[in-house]
Structure 1
Amino acid sequence: MPVVDQQQNYKLLSLTESDGKTVMKFQRSIGSCDENDLPITNLPMKLIYAYGQNDNITYHSTRRGRKELNLLKYMPRVNPPNSSFFDITMVNFTVPAKQTHYHCKIMRAPTFDRKQHIYRIEPVITNFDLVHHLLLYRCPLTVTEPFEAECFTGVDRECMETVALWGVGGGAFEFPEVAGLPIGGNVGDFFYRLEVHYNNLNKSADRVDNTGLRFYYTSELRQHDAAVLMTGLAVAPGYAIPPKAKSFLTYGLCDTAYIPKVLETPHDLQVFSVMLHTHLAGRKVRVGHFRGGKQIDFLAVDENYDFEYQEVTNLGKTKTVKLGDKLLVECTYNTENRSTLTWGGLSTSDEMCLAFLFYYPAMNLSSCISLPNAATLISEMGANDTANWVNMMFMKTWNDMSINQYQQTLKRIDQLVVVTNSNNNGSHNKGTLPDLKVIPSAPCMSGCATKSLALLSLLLCLAVQWASL
């Protein structure tokens, strides 16, 4: 049983049961000044819950769940007038009997005479045990024909502007009332690429899948067109995470000063939501925000990253990223249970370090990512060429000292920073990684110490369909 907190800072307001639903309403100070309580901040937080089959308090077994919310500014579900939806999915696709498979399908979206705004995106998942994540990309106008095959084997590689995404454990995503994803009208007659990552651990055969996304749209246009920018560490085998590491850090740099090199009319980004993404070894993800050479904020933080729970989360307030600012995506990995190198790559057993930023007003921008300069890394580690470096990495004795030395080398050397627009025109530049620090929190003030600190009321609603006895 959980240990009872000696200092109770929660006050029960009501508790009701009706029609198979239990509704509990309680309140707690935003800052309780209790070392055993987490402060409620403007960053998304994970809520966990568990329930039993009756009023006896016993072990809940599998009757439990979790939800990531921004408690200070929850994004409510809306139903605007003149709305409808369409689906973009796979159609009767037979999943190959192999552990990792990326399947891509290029198709047209429904056409509209005038522009519409997408205001909500929901996953349509046929096989939850097989689908790891999926993305929808907008293709450049040079892509004019449908296509379906294993990803990265053909024209699908040209479609790289992220429009929507879903990760395992995630749910529906709601856009703020001031912005929506544009489709139809003057947006253009684009093709779209649906990419589904199947993680078939048991290598099951003859599994048919119709997974995809459902898009709710309205003709009542919002103030801004929204878009998605991929930032972080380039997904490539050019970096490796050593085994036996308790806490190994990698970094991806986005320097927005290079955006004008690929866009004629760039502007600041108003970031309102983010999705953080690593694979099985990931433990933490932080996105540092730098301006004028100094860290001014964390754009997003997840100190308890869970591979089984990946969701687009509302930041709670819109954060302005000015042209010239730098964003540093830091990922922390644990490979203590691994005996060989973990490479950057597509497989679930490989690793990624990405942050997808939802922002407005939209720009024709695809990605802003980086990778350690391979030539510098090879030279710094005393290798002659790539093959010699790879062999050195495999033969190296990895312990705390060698792991730390390698990590410091990756952090110190110059980075290749790549900014790409919607037409796949890229700007390649060199950059250095800034130091990411923890910004001190304000002094704690309990709810009883000041009237200006209002009590936060939380409504936790658990819908439980009781099994008939």
Structure 2
Amino acid sequence: MFLPIHLISISFLFKYVLSEDILLPSFIMNNQSFSTSSSSSSFYLCHLHQLKNSKDFFLQGYNIINGENTGNVHHLLLYECSIKDNLIYSGLCGMYNAHFMPSSVYHHCQTRIIIAWAQGGQLNYNYPTDTGLKMNTYTQLLLEVHFESSIPYNHSIGIHLRFYPLDKKPKYEIGILTLGTLVHSSLFLPPRLNTIRFPTYCFNDCLKYFLKNQFVINIFSILVHAHRRATRIILENNNFNRLIDQNPFKYHQQENIYFKKPYPQINSTNELTLICYYSTRYDYSQAIYGGYNSNDEMCQAFLYYYPKIESFPLCLSLPVYKNKHLLNNKQKWTNKLSLSIKYELESNINHLSLCGDNIYINNSNQTIFHKKFYQRSMQNIPQYSYTYVHFSSFFYVIIIFLLISTIYCYLLAKKHLHSFSNGGTLSSSTN
């Protein structure tokens, strides 16, 4: 009696719950070009995966394959390619390795991030009920894995996708919006400082353009990403209304933040500010640049939301500094110099807005990014005060001398008081 019911449940499972694995192939390790770059502090490996779906489907969620091997994985991203050409590539990737990649892969497959995972993050992820991430017919996906300086032999890191076909279409389609700044940006952190504030913006003009007709999106999850010097990350809505405040930010525990219903909402009246705080107290002779490697820094956030807005995967900003010539390591760093450059950075009001879809048009160098220059007024930037006092070695000598003198005077006074209490006098001679 129970056998038919069991068979029916299995057939239902196969009909509606399908899956596919996207793994880094092991033959990448035999690539000669990779072996010449393995001495760097970190490196990127990519693999293009062609979905064989004859019709659209929606992802229910995903999990990271071989999660026990992610200890030396910095981050893992899955991109949706913006063209339907049958591209083939497996090997080194990232901006520093663009010359290894076919130009079509570099231009069209490192654009739309649809899955983001960082070190210490959750290995399993389920989307909210009645939502799904749409995969178009015969979509190509680019798996990008950023490894630290060492890599295990069993490096088969990948993503296991769970999806259901079109006849199980969810009520809402999911979108992922990337905030922050470009990876290879003008982020610059002077050494020897306890706190440096670095803000980026998703300007109101961008949200007004893409969230037309009073369109509202619901944020159900956020992943913020930075490197080892980050200490705190805040995401604010209008009027300093904080959506998240990761304090402290933990590099080895970059987990997705989940919201409960009712989810935070964003509309065309909003503006988003992502603020990353850093500490360079243990850097003495070198400033830190923005970049890909683990020793560089980043400031990004990935917003998971619904319903999806087409052609709006990115809402970034780039600080434009007046005295850009100061931002270099070709100088002898002192505490005074670090503080002066810190002031230059934190008082900057000039930003370049970059929003839209970073898709290259007709194999040209033009994209459909919306670019606009902004000058923010200082009154819209929350004041951050700090105090720094430089203590020289002479100062410490004086402190030690005063401390010893105080102890000596205390012991001398105690000795005379003891003598007086035993019938003596405060003077050693009499008239």
> What is the TM-score with the length of structure 2 in the denominator?
0.71
1:129 aligned residue: 71
Shift of 1:395: 1.0
Deviates more, 1:423-432 or 1:279-288: 423-432
Judged with a 3 Å threshold, the aligned counterparts in structure 2 of structure 1 residues 250 and 404 are, in CA distance, closer, same or farther, namely farther
2:410 aligned residue: none
Q: Indicate yes or no: 2:294 matched with 1:348.
A: yes
Of 97, 106, 111, the residue aligned with 1:156 is 106
2:317 aligned residue: 370
Alignment of 1:368-447 (within 5 A): 368-374=315-321, 376-378=322-324, 383=325, 389-391=326-328, 393-395=329-331, 397-399=333-335, 402-403=338-339, 405-421=341-357, 423=359, 424-432=367-375, 434-436=380-382
Bigger radius of gyration among the two: 2
1:170 aligned residue: 121
2:363 aligned residue: none
1:328 aligned residue: 273
Provide the alpha-carbon RMSD of the alignment.
2.8
Shift of 1:131: 1.4
Of 126, 131, 136, the residue aligned with 1:179 is 131
Q: Give unmatched runs, 5+ long, in structure 2.
A: 1-12, 360-366, 385-431
2:22 aligned residue: 88
| CA–CA distance in structure 1, aligned partners of residues 383 and 59 of structure 2 | 37
Alignment of 1:242-281 (within 5 A): 242-259=190-207, 267-281=215-229
Matched residue SS, 2:83? coil
| CA–CA distance in structure 1, aligned partners of residues 266 and 211 of structure 2 | 16
Shift of 1:420: 2.5
| CA–CA distance in structure 2, aligned partners of residues 253 and 164 of structure 1 | 22
1:238 aligned residue: 186
Q: Deviations over 1:377-408 (max 9, x none)?
A: 42xxxx4xxxxx455x5315342674265345
Q: Deviations over 1:66-102 (max 9, x none)?
A: xxxxxxxxxxxxx998213211121113275333111
2:50 aligned residue: 108
CA contact (8 A) 2:224 2:300 kept: yes
1:51 aligned residue: none
Judged with a 3 Å threshold, the aligned counterparts in structure 2 of structure 1 residues 289 and 259 are, in CA distance, closer, same or farther, namely closer
Of 231, 234, 241, the residue aligned with 1:283 is 231
Matched residue SS, 1:128? helix
| CA–CA distance in structure 2, aligned partners of residues 144 and 261 of structure 1 | 33
Judged with a 3 Å threshold, the aligned counterparts in structure 2 of structure 1 residues 398 and 190 are, in CA distance, closer, same or farther, namely farther
The amino acid of 1:399's aligned partner reads: N
| CA–CA distance in structure 1, aligned partners of residues 228 and 237 of structure 2 | 26
Q: Deviations over 1:250-269 (max 9, x none)?
A: 11111142256579999432
Shift of 1:218: 2.5
1:59 aligned residue: none
Matched residue SS, 1:285? strand
1:467 aligned residue: none
Q: Relative contact order, CA 8 A, sep 6+: which one is greater? A: 1
Shift of 1:353: 0.6
1:25 aligned residue: none
| CA–CA distance in structure 1, aligned partners of residues 44 and 25 of structure 2 | 15
Shift of 1:224: 0.4
CA contact (8 A) 1:257 1:325 kept: no
Deviates more, 1:266-275 or 1:355-364: 266-275
Q: Deviations over 1:430-468 (max 9, x none)?
A: 224543589xxxxxxxxxxxxxxxxxxxxxxxxxxxxxx
Structure with a larger share of its residues in helix: 2
CA contact (8 A) 1:83 1:216 kept: yes
Of 144, 147, 164, the residue aligned with 2:89 is 147
1:217 aligned residue: 163
CA contact (8 A) 1:133 1:168 kept: yes
Q: Indicate yes or no: 2:254 matched with 1:310.
A: yes
| CA–CA distance in structure 1, aligned partners of residues 14 and 250 of structure 2 | 33
2:141 aligned residue: 192
Shift of 1:157: 4.0
2:243 aligned residue: 299
| CA–CA distance in structure 1, aligned partners of residues 198 and 76 of structure 2 | 24
| CA–CA distance in structure 1, aligned partners of residues 194 and 180 of structure 2 | 22
Matched residue SS, 2:264? strand
In the TM superposition, structure 1's runs of 4+ consecutive aligned residues that sit over 4 Å from their partners are: 259-266
2:409 aligned residue: none
Structure with a larger share of its residues in strand: 1
Shift of 1:238: 1.9
The percent of aligned pairs where both chains have the same amino acid is: 20
| CA–CA distance in structure 1, aligned partners of residues 295 and 320 of structure 2 | 24
CA contact (8 A) 1:140 1:422 kept: no
| Number of aligned residue pairs | 338
> What is the TM-score with the length of structure 1 in the denominator?
0.66
Judged with a 3 Å threshold, the aligned counterparts in structure 2 of structure 1 residues 347 and 145 are, in CA distance, closer, same or farther, namely same
Matched residue SS, 2:106? helix
1:24 aligned residue: none
Deviates more, 1:97-106 or 1:349-358: 97-106
CA contact (8 A) 2:84 2:138 kept: no
